Amino acid sequence: MAALVTIRRCATLQEALVCKGFLEANGIHAIVENYYHASNDWLLIPGLGGACVAVPSNDVETAHALIRKSAQDGADLLEQEFGAYETPHRYGVLALWYMILHQFQVALFLWVCFFYVLLKFLDAVVPSHWFISKAPTIERDWIPEVSAGSWNPISMSGWNIEGFLFVIVIILVFVADRLITPGTDTKDEAP
C-alpha cells in the first residue's frame, strides 16, 4: 500500500473537488484531506493549510504532469468547448461610485437631499391649500396632524386632496395586487 502525498493545496473546497475529480477522471485515485472538516465548517480551511488533494506516492509524477498539461492546454480546450472568450461587461464608473456611496450611507443622504429639493419645488409650484389639513374642532395641539384628513375623519367631514389621493392610491395598489396575483380559496384543514 502506497503512502499518500499532498500534491495541491487549494484555497476552497470546490477547487479541491474539481482537482480531485479531474485526477480521478484520468485514472489517478485522489482524495481531499480533511474533507468533512472543511465541508462542515469552511472557516477551518485556512487553519487546515488549505483543502489538500492527495494521491498515492507512486502516482505523484503522473498527477503533476497531468495537472501541468491541463493548465497549459486548458484555455484551448475551453475555447473549443464554449467558443472564444468574451470579455465581461464593464460596469460604468457611476455604478461603482453609487455602490461606494451606498456602503457609507452617503447615497441615502443624497436621496434625502434630492427629495427635499423636490418637495421645496413642489411647494413653490403646487397650491399650498392642497396640502394643509383642516384644523380639528377639538384642540389637540400635542397630536401631530398627519392623518388623511381631520384627526377623526369618520365624525368630521372635510377630506383634503392629499388624503383623497392617498386613499385612491391605496385602493389601486390592492386592486392591482389582486389582478396580478389572484387569490386562491383556502380551506380550513382543522379536524
CATH number of the domain where residue 31 is located: 3.30.70
Number of structural domains found in the chain: 3
Looking at per-residue pLDDT, the higher value among 191 and 99 belongs to: 99
Helix axes 60-82, 13-25, angle to 10 degrees: 100
Looking at per-residue pLDDT, the higher value among 171 and 56 belongs to: 56
Rg (CA), the chain: 34
pLDDT exceeds 50 at position 31: yes
Residues 8 and 54 in one domain: yes
Residues 57 and 36 in one domain: yes
Q: Is residue 191 part of a domain?
A: no
Listed residues 82, 109, 139: the one ending a domain? 82
Alpha carbon dihedral 46, 48, 54, 57, in 10-degree steps, equals 130
Residues 154 and 110 in one domain: no
Q: How distant is the alpha carbon of residue 125 from its chain centre? A: 39
Residues 67 and 97 in one domain: no
Which three cell numbers mark 159?
377630506
Q: Note the pLDDT of residue 126.
A: 76
Q: Is residue 54 part of a domain?
A: yes
Contact yes or no for 36/13 (Cβ under 8 A):
no
Question: CA of 26: how far to CAs of 21, 30, 50, 70, 126, in Å?
Answer: 9, 11, 23, 11, 75
Q: Is residue 103 part of a domain?
A: yes
pLDDT in tens, 133-163: 565 556 655 555 555 545 444 444 455 666 6
Q: Is residue 187 part of a domain?
A: no
Residues 147 and 177 in one domain: yes
Q: Note the pLDDT of residue 176.
A: 76
Question: CA of 14: how far to CAs of 40, 126, 154, in Å?
Answer: 13, 60, 64
Residues 22 and 75 in one domain: yes
Q: Is residue 62 part of a domain?
A: yes
pLDDT in tens, 75-93: 888 888 888 888 777 666 6
Q: What angle (nearest 5°) sits at the alpha carbon of residue 8, between those of residues 84 and 6?
A: 155
- Which residue range is the domain that position 97 belongs to? 87-125
Confidence tier at 190 by pLDDT (50, 70, 90):
very low
pLDDT exceeds 90 at position 5: yes
pLDDT exceeds 80 at position 14: yes
Q: Give SS3 for 186.
A: coil
Residues 92 and 70 in one domain: no
Residues 72 and 8 in one domain: yes
Residues 8 and 74 in one domain: yes
Q: Is residue 188 part of a domain?
A: no
The answer to whether the Cα torsion of 137, 138, 141, 146 is positive or negative is negative
Q: Is residue 190 part of a domain?
A: no
Residues 173 and 150 in one domain: yes
Q: Is residue 97 part of a domain?
A: yes
Residues 147 and 116 in one domain: no
pLDDT exceeds 50 at position 9: yes
pLDDT in tens, 117-134: 888 888 788 776 666 656
DSSP tag of 141: T
